[in-house]
Chain A
Amino acid sequence: MKTFEIDRDVMEIAGRYQKAKEYLLPILQELVGKKGYLTEKIIRDVAKEMNISPNEVYGVATFYSFIKTKPTGKYVIRICQTIGCDLAGKDELIKALEKELRVKCSGTTDDMMFTLEKTNCIGMCDQGPAMLINDEVYARMDSKKAVELVKEYKAKENS
């Protein structure tokens, strides 16, 4: 049998939740927080630690858009696509950011700095269009503001 060494973070985090199946989601959340995204190895390790099928772990992981199973940029920009923000002009926002970042929606910039994607309702329906950059909420956006904001992030990185 191929014996892998189980990832230390997986052991630590799963252990803290007593490896209980009902805590799969917080375990995955913590792992994403720590690792950025879940690799196949991490998924398999979690399954092994918790004695469940890796398919089950993967099924849960892919169900939630905030649990990443693919590499993302350092900053993940999530544009709300739900009806309030949609009517408030989220399409314009996406177009402007696609142009600024030179990346299609759902893609990541070559320098692995920004990922641009859509997300479901983030609870800012009265202040649309809204977006997230990692955990920061930005409401009442427009194309110009969004581009300025991204430029600020870029500048911060370059300094």
Chain B
Amino acid sequence: MQTATETMLNIKINGKELQAKQGETILDVAKRNNIHIPTLCYHDDLCLSGICRVCAVDVEGQRLLQTACNTPVIPEMVVNTNSQRVRKARKMILELLLSEHVGECTTCKRNLNCELQELASLYGIEEVRFKKPEEKRFPIEENSPIVRDNDKCILCRRCVRVCEEIQEVEAITPVGRGKETSIGCLYDLTLDETVCVFCGQCINRCPTGALTEKDATKDVWRAIEDPAKHVVVQTAPAIRAALAEEFDVPPGERVTGKMTAALKMLGFDTVFDTDFTADLTIIEEGTELLTRLKKALVDKSDVSIPMFTSCSPGWINYIEHHYPDLLSNLSTCKSPQQMFGALIKTYYAQKKGLDPDSIVSVSVMPCTAKKYEADRPEMTDSGYKDVDYVLTTRELARMIKQAGLDLMEIEDAEFDAPMGISTGAGVIFGATGGVMEAAIRTAYELVTGREVPFENLDIKPVRGMDGIRAASVTITDPSPEWSFLDGAEVKVAVAHTLSNARKLMDEVREGKSPYHFIEVMACPGGCLGGGGQPIPTAPDIRKKRAQAIYTEDDCLALRKSHENPAVKQLYEEFLGEPNGHKSHELLHTHYTEKSNW
């Protein structure tokens, strides 16, 4: 926004007189005026780097070409983004990058969605004049959900920057110098030997195919083809808000019905909605929170407060590595994915009269850490591996394409009952602040018997994209069993990205945290910005996905988890009561301290 104090200056790009603000870069001004300058190391989410040089432009009076991404504008600057000298230089830079980029486009997961490929085609690179290494220089690392192929790496360091700046995990770093440089970990450790949390944000930032998710589509196809297997799929709330992007639809399009139909057409026997267990999580986690508050306030017993949400597996990995002393603050609730897995092979199997051994449980998640979570040894409470395979949004899109389906042309279908029934509170789990909002909607009503005092149930203070958001709800006139909460101001906070989580955790560690309940999502924007989501990602893309999620919540008749009839039925038929014996057996878990480097 323009303010009175902002100094405007005049510059000229490609002969066009333009207004620029003090402090803007050439690239900023060009973007605002729809002048295309190619970039590779630049990313909307990250600090400037200026190392790939592909955004080189001609600046009058300067002997050398300047990088548009990190050159600030000055008054009367004259820029040419498209001189022959610029085109020639960019072509040369691309050739040099390509000479180090070893790998076949046709066998690459990023084929047709690769920034390097796109620029090579744009600049008409017909041959690379420089010699390419004939053999692979690096082994492909694939012993974690994140597959690294350093031969395709062009050293733009976007992965390093996202890991450092947004997550503050620093699992990877540039190692070596000059032409020997590679992105890696100390002493060639693999990611699973480091503090990597498998959030996959590096994958979403990678301009090439150097970082990709470990593929599960082959296993899932095999299960679908096997007539002896009953294949059940669950889809997380963030998928429906982003899947369409893989089919060239602008961000923000909800495709819940089309996605459900596509899953059925792919051959999944039953299509369920993770929103169902999101609702269940709220019941379990809400009860757990109230129990903790009661213990603290009434029984005066030693109980860890604030309580932290436990839905985000990247966050769980992070706290296990970095704040193991705070593990008792984590809710013991499994994530919705894992609750679902445990129920499919018990409750659902019983209900359908199926042998749990014949069930293959698949989940579609916006997340790469979910792959790690599903493989955790403790996630076998059903007596089987609770979730057999995890597909990311990108992998599901590939399967839909492989099946020859055009997502946008498919007619809508509904999720199957009973575990496809969900509420708006389950849907908003996909956005940062959503778990908190859903929890407040339910907990407040549970305690007071009245709806939360927010207009249209929208708890706006916990929504949005600010890194940390706080809110408080004062409880008045509670029902008799919760009388100890009368007049209590319940304080909550929401953080997304691990760098923001760290700020809240440091407060807790120092005993200075004013909060009772903290929601943490590892990825920017929450699950909708997860490491398994369509590439590219950027702040405005994530905002549009969030809009789609909140619109879906708004459209639903049921918007409070405790009103989900299928969840009520589940308690009546199977679980008994929230936080009861069976719940503890199937829906709750424990955490393990991991080494912090």
A residues bordering B, Cβ < 8 Å? 1-2, 40, 43-44, 47-48, 53-59, 62-65, 69
Q: How far is the CB of B20 from chain A (nearest CB, A)?
A: 35
Given known pairs A1-B324, A44-B597, A47-B597, the reply for A59 and B187 (CB within 8 Å) is no
Q: Which residues of A contact B220 (CB under 8 A)?
A: none
Is B417 interfacial (CB-CB < 8 Å)? Answer: no
Partner of B173, one of A40, A59, A64, A65: A59
Partner of A1, one of B174, B187, B596: B596
Q: How far is the CB of A45 from chain B (nearest CB, A)?
A: 10
Q: How far is the CB of A158 from chain B (nearest CB, A)?
A: 34
Q: 0/1 per residue, B163-190, Cβ < 8 Å to A? A: 0000000111111110000000111000
Chain B's closest residue to A64 (CB) is B177
Q: Which residues of A contact B596 (CB under 8 A)?
A: 1
Is A55 in contact with B593, judged by CB distance below 8 angstroms? Answer: no
Is B185 in contact with A55, judged by CB distance below 8 angstroms? Answer: yes
Chain A's closest residue to B175 (CB) is A62
Q: Which residues of B contact A55 (CB under 8 A)?
A: 170-173, 185-186, 194
Given known pairs A1-B593, A53-B170, A54-B186, the reply for A63 and B324 (CB within 8 Å) is no
Is B595 interfacial (CB-CB < 8 Å)? Answer: yes
Is B173 in contact with A56, judged by CB distance below 8 angstroms? Answer: yes
Q: How far is the CB of B51 from chain A (nearest CB, A)?
A: 15
Pick from B175, B324, B593 the residue with the most CB of A within 10 Å: B175
**In the complex, number of A-B residue pairs with CB atoms less than 8 Å apart:** 44
Q: How far is the CB of A38 from chain B (nearest CB, A)?
A: 10
Q: How far is the CB of A107 from chain B (nearest CB, A)?
A: 16
Q: Which residues of B contact A47 (CB under 8 A)?
A: 597
Give the CA-CA distance A2 to B593 in the complex, in Å. 10
Given known pairs A1-B593, A48-B597, A69-B187, the reply for A56 and B170 (CB within 8 Å) is yes
Give the CA-CA distance A56 to B169 in the complex, in Å. 11
Is B175 in contact with A59, judged by CB distance below 8 angstroms? Answer: yes
Q: Which residues of B contact A69 (CB under 8 A)?
A: 187
Partner of A59, one of B171, B174, B324: B174
Q: Which residues of A contact B186 (CB under 8 A)?
A: 40, 43-44, 54-55, 57-58
Is B173 in contact with A53, judged by CB distance below 8 angstroms? Answer: yes
Q: How far is the CB of A85 from chain B (nearest CB, A)?
A: 17
Given known pairs A40-B187, A55-B171, A55-B185, the reply for A62 and B176 (CB within 8 Å) is yes
Q: Which residues of B contact A59 (CB under 8 A)?
A: 173-175
Q: Which residues of B contact A40 (CB under 8 A)?
A: 186-187
Given known pairs A43-B186, A55-B186, the reply for A62 and B177 (CB within 8 Å) is yes
Q: Which residues of A contact B172 (CB under 8 A)?
A: 55
Give the CA-CA distance A69 to B187 in the complex, in Å. 8
Contacts A44-B186, A58-B173 given; 12 further ones with Cβ under 8 A?
A1-B595, A2-B595, A43-B187, A53-B173, A54-B597, A55-B171, A55-B186, A57-B186, A58-B186, A58-B187, A59-B173, A59-B174
Give the CA-CA distance A150 to B27 in the complex, in Å. 57
Q: Which residues of B contact A63 (CB under 8 A)?
A: 176-177
Is A53 in contact with B177, judged by CB distance below 8 angstroms? Answer: no
Interface residues of B in 571-597 (CB under 8 A from A): 593, 595-597
Chain A's closest residue to B176 (CB) is A62
Q: Which residues of A contact B593 (CB under 8 A)?
A: 1
Interface residues of B in 179-207 (CB under 8 A from A): 185-187, 194
Give the CA-CA distance A1 to B593 in the complex, in Å. 7
Q: Which residues of B contact A1 (CB under 8 A)?
A: 324, 593, 595-596
Is B324 in contact with A53, judged by CB distance below 8 angstroms? Answer: no
Q: How far is the CB of B49 from chain A (nearest CB, A)?
A: 15
Q: Which residues of B contact A58 (CB under 8 A)?
A: 173, 175, 185-187
Q: For the complex of A and B, list the 5 residue pairs with the smallest distance between their C-beta atoms, beginning with the closest.
A: A58-B186, A53-B170, A55-B173, A59-B173, A63-B177
Chain B's closest residue to A43 (CB) is B186
Chain A's closest residue to B177 (CB) is A63
Q: Which residues of A contact B177 (CB under 8 A)?
A: 62-65
Q: List 27 A-B residue pairs with CB atoms under 8 Å apart, sorted by A's residue number.
A: A1-B593, A2-B595, A40-B186, A40-B187, A44-B597, A47-B597, A48-B597, A53-B170, A53-B597, A54-B597, A55-B172, A55-B173, A56-B170, A56-B173, A57-B186, A58-B175, A58-B185, A58-B186, A58-B187, A59-B173, A59-B175, A62-B176, A62-B177, A63-B176, A63-B177, A64-B177, A65-B177
Q: Which residues of B contact A44 (CB under 8 A)?
A: 186, 597
Pick from B170, B172, B593 the residue with the most CB of A within 10 Å: B170
Give the CA-CA distance A48 to B195 in the complex, in Å. 14
Q: Which residues of B contact A62 (CB under 8 A)?
A: 175-177
Q: How far is the CB of A57 from chain B (nearest CB, A)?
A: 8
Give the CA-CA distance A110 to B40 in the complex, in Å. 45
Q: Which residues of A contact B175 (CB under 8 A)?
A: 58-59, 62
Give the CA-CA distance A58 to B194 in the complex, in Å. 13
Chain A's closest residue to B168 (CB) is A53
Q: Which residues of A contact B185 (CB under 8 A)?
A: 55, 58
Give the CA-CA distance A45 to B171 in the complex, in Å. 17
Chain B's closest residue to A53 (CB) is B170
Interface residues of B in 382-403 (CB under 8 A from A): none
Q: 0/1 per residue, B134-178, Cβ < 8 Å to A? A: 000000000000000000000000000000000000111111110
Give the CA-CA distance A65 to B180 in the complex, in Å. 11
Give the CA-CA distance A54 to B597 in the complex, in Å. 7
Give the CA-CA distance A64 to B181 in the complex, in Å. 12
Chain B's closest residue to A2 (CB) is B595
